[in-house]
Structure 1
């Protein structure tokens, strides 16, 4: 039975069993060897008369010998010889009868049976050079076919990439060609994207994708037993994948969907989007507008390039998709926002976040949660104010700017303007308003206010008495101070 790769390249790998059918050679199969050994491909011919040729051999070599150096009757020597060849492992052994051995030695037959090594007998009138010529001609034709098909696949991948198809679509075509599972992995072995299927127990091979330091990516192929055809077939396509990967991660082409970007733009818009429209945007992006939300805001640290941030965001998205039903993300300069919904039974975004970025402690990550779509825009803007310092942190449930942003109505703005109007009328330069804001922001600490405004304590006392007289209030009242602080923040938010 042919392997998946031989079918993928459309040719017939030269197998041991094919030796029997080669014209003009009259080769006889004397020992079948272990199960399916006759289906092993032949990599090259290795004529040798050494008693121990293994230092000169490689996997799937076809050993040709007349046994001149093995003209012995001791079975143990034959047994050791067959054991060494089987351990390489070679594809099989062709033994030429003639002057050294008029017939196959019984010891060799027994040893090959014991070690599962396929054994062929070549008649005296057929020189080894004919066998080598037949095998090499067949292998040369196969190698040419592999190279041609490899470049044809690369051409297809190039056309797909030129048409604007995604990296996943190109990888799908590669997986279809080799009838195996293929994946692009980073230097740690983490899968960024994959295509195709293969049993989990299937063997794996890897090709390094051409990429500049410090980034290193590989193409992992699972489901192909031999590495012989992997490089000729996938080498050219791997180069195309590397270029597209570099473009995808390094360019300004969005990795997110247009629907996700439109929804998140609306969430971050300072002018509130009408609720029905916001619900429609959420639905079109794949969310359920009635469910709770989770968010991760990832900020690039100093010295981190866009390429690296995209790799980290991509990894986070893939890992989150294993724990949440819906995951979408949107990039902005230096910041990536990931929204999630539908956690698995034991999934918690605050618990998952530290594990996602454990390898990048310098990254700034803020976790936010919202119980409803109404709350989500304020939660995101609140989280955004806490992005910056390295590490993973949970956004607070609320802060003063968030409360102010959530306050409705033009009437409230008018009330705030009315409350502070006496200061603006008496002091158009804004000194009194600035002093009041500093006093409230610094929790009525005279020392802190004086240091911030570069004024003397007597000057501060004078200004505070004047503010109280103009507004008709007492700043000793905590409720009055809170009201003034809210009024200042409301007017500041309206600018």
Structure 2
């Protein structure tokens, strides 16, 4: 979890003192930056704890605090004992007006100590997120090989993300899981025309992420998750893993079916070419013994130029129909 201002203030080794914005100490601190510029916002991204000794105070505290607030700074760390003996009243007043936390940094606490504390906390949070993602991916993989793999993966995903998760087929019917926003979710599926694709949107205060399933352009299903908070990058990795596992489970039967069709077509061509013994040996291992001769083959459909009047009598073999003991009915 990203460190907060409250976590820094609670550390006795830092000795930090809250001077303004005590109600907003739950703000996460993404990084620490030091600046004495009158307007440092061009060098900020938002979420920083900005450290300063207050050289800029003479340029106007209210305007400075307003700029920091608009830039999304998490808080202002004001070092005392150098430029100022205490945090100026004008700074405290301006910060309270906009709800910007101001933390006094006593002279004996070097700024680098705060930077190190935040850097270690951020690194620990990132490591914890990676560890959770790894554990979740292992759990999803184990779930995928179960007999009820599709249901197990969907259930495990919901548990790992602390969210609801639902698996829908291409028509929007539920295959696994559940969602309290099914009707609204189905209405969004029309926005997908080909895969792979993903969509994140908000509905009734819930952040919903939908990901298509399937290899190539064809969509074989949709995986959706929803919770009140946005998915973190680590959560996105977990969702991607679940989607990949479900895609494999959907594509495997299709691939097997396609391979089986090609195999049957190849055996039929071998049979028509007179390789009866080879076909019989292969077919016996896969489907059982071939029917005993004579065998009637019926052409039920095909291009009009190949259609002829049915006949129950034997035909004279042609080069494309060798003598194999097969009797055809056209």
Bin the TM-score by the shorter chain: 0.5 to 0.7
C-alpha distance 194-146 of structure 1, shift in aligned 2 (>3 A): same
Higher relative contact order (CA 8 A, sep 6+): 2
| 8 A contact 1:206–1:218 mirrored in 2 | no
Matches within 5 A, 1:239-254: 239-252=240-253
1:127 aligns with 2:129: no
Q: CA deviation at 1:94?
A: 1.2
C-alpha distance 207-429 of structure 1, shift in aligned 2 (>3 A): closer
Distance of 2:311 and 2:210 partners within structure 1: 69
Q: CA deviation at 1:66?
A: 1.8
Match of 1:148 in 2: 131
| 8 A contact 1:207–1:231 mirrored in 2 | no
Q: CA deviation at 1:191?
A: 9.8
Q: CA deviation at 1:170?
A: 1.5
Residue ranges of structure 1 left out of the alignment (5+ in a row): 1-11, 255-305, 307-427, 431-495
C-alpha distance 224-56 of structure 1, shift in aligned 2 (>3 A): farther
Q: CA deviation at 1:30?
A: 1.1
Matches within 5 A, 1:180-259: 180-182=163-165, 195=178, 200-204=203-207, 206=209, 214=217, 221-225=225-229, 230-235=232-237, 237-252=238-253
Q: CA deviation at 1:197?
A: 6.4
Distance of 2:112 and 2:164 partners within structure 1: 40
- Secondary structure at the aligned position of 2:229 is classed as coil
Distance of 2:173 and 2:99 partners within structure 1: 38
- Secondary structure at the aligned position of 1:251 is classed as helix
1:25 aligns with 2:25: no
| 8 A contact 2:205–2:228 mirrored in 1 | yes
Matches within 5 A, 1:7-406: 13-32=2-21, 37-68=24-55, 70-72=56-58, 77-182=60-165, 195=178, 200-204=203-207, 206=209, 214=217, 221-225=225-229, 230-235=232-237, 237-252=238-253
| 8 A contact 2:163–2:225 mirrored in 1 | yes
Q: CA deviation at 1:79?
A: 2.1
- Secondary structure at the aligned position of 1:137 is classed as helix
- Secondary structure at the aligned position of 1:204 is classed as strand
Question: What TM-score comes out, normalization by structure 2 length?
Answer: 0.59
Question: What TM-score comes out, normalization by structure 1 length?
Answer: 0.41
Distance of 2:205 and 2:311 partners within structure 1: 76
> Deviations for 1:39-84, whole angstroms, at most 9, x for unmatched residues?
222222222223222232223222222222x131x6xx32222222
- Count of matched residue positions in the alignment of Structure 1 and Structure 2: 236
Structure number, greater radius of gyration: 1
> Deviations for 1:414-435, whole angstroms, at most 9, x for unmatched residues?
xxxxxxxxxxxxxx989xxxxx
Which one has a larger percent helix, Structure 1 or Structure 2? 1
| 8 A contact 1:176–1:196 mirrored in 2 | no
- Secondary structure at the aligned position of 1:29 is classed as strand
